[in-house]
Amino acid sequence: MSTDCLFCGIVARTVPATVVHETDTVLAFRDIDPQAPSHLLVIPKEHYPDAAAMATADPRLAGDVLAAAGKAAKADGIDATGYRLVFNTGTDANQTVFHAHCHVLGGRRMSWPPG
Ligand code: 5GP
Ligand code: ZN
């Protein structure tokens, strides 16, 4: 845990969040500034700065995040219509929170390529 990390605060329940799915290793909650009708974030409970660092250190945990993304999408009713999983990584991708997280976006038709 990193004491100055926002998402570690959500894991520790010192920062409030609307949790939609949880396991021993991961947490899924609603994004505070949704970019789609359903916009969830899935994070490992352990702190890693980005998805690549997580997957390198603990591939099984990366699998847990992906499995939880599917379960959270189903719980939010977007599994039938489809959804997008995004791991923003670094400056050009506009990563703003440096605790690995998977965006789960759905509930509307999305364009490709992303802007
Ligand atoms: P990034 O830009 O790093 O890929 O995504 C960070 C996400 O975290 C953004 O979509 C932003 O809206 C979300 N976010 C930032 N602060 C909070 C917060 O305090 N609570 C929740 N639930 N989401 C947050
Ligand atoms: Zn963290």
Contact 28, 17 (CB under 8 A): no
ipTM above 0.90, yes or no: yes
What pLDDT does 110 receive?
96
Please tell me the predicted confidence (pLDDT) of residue 3: 76
Ligand in nearest proximity to the CA of 45: 2
pLDDT at 50: 98
Pocket test for ligand 1, best of 7, 13, 27, 32 (most atoms within 8 A of CB): 32
**Ligand 1 centroid from CA 97, angstroms:** 7
Residues of the chain short of pLDDT 70, as ranges, are none
Please tell me the predicted confidence (pLDDT) of residue 115: 82
**Domains parsed from the chain with CATH numbers:** 6-106 (3.30.428.10)
**Which pLDDT does position 11 carry in this prediction?**
98
Q: Which atom of ligand 1 is nearest to the CA of 88?
A: 4
Contacts of 70 (CB under 8 A, 6+ apart): 79
Catalytic status, residue 103: no
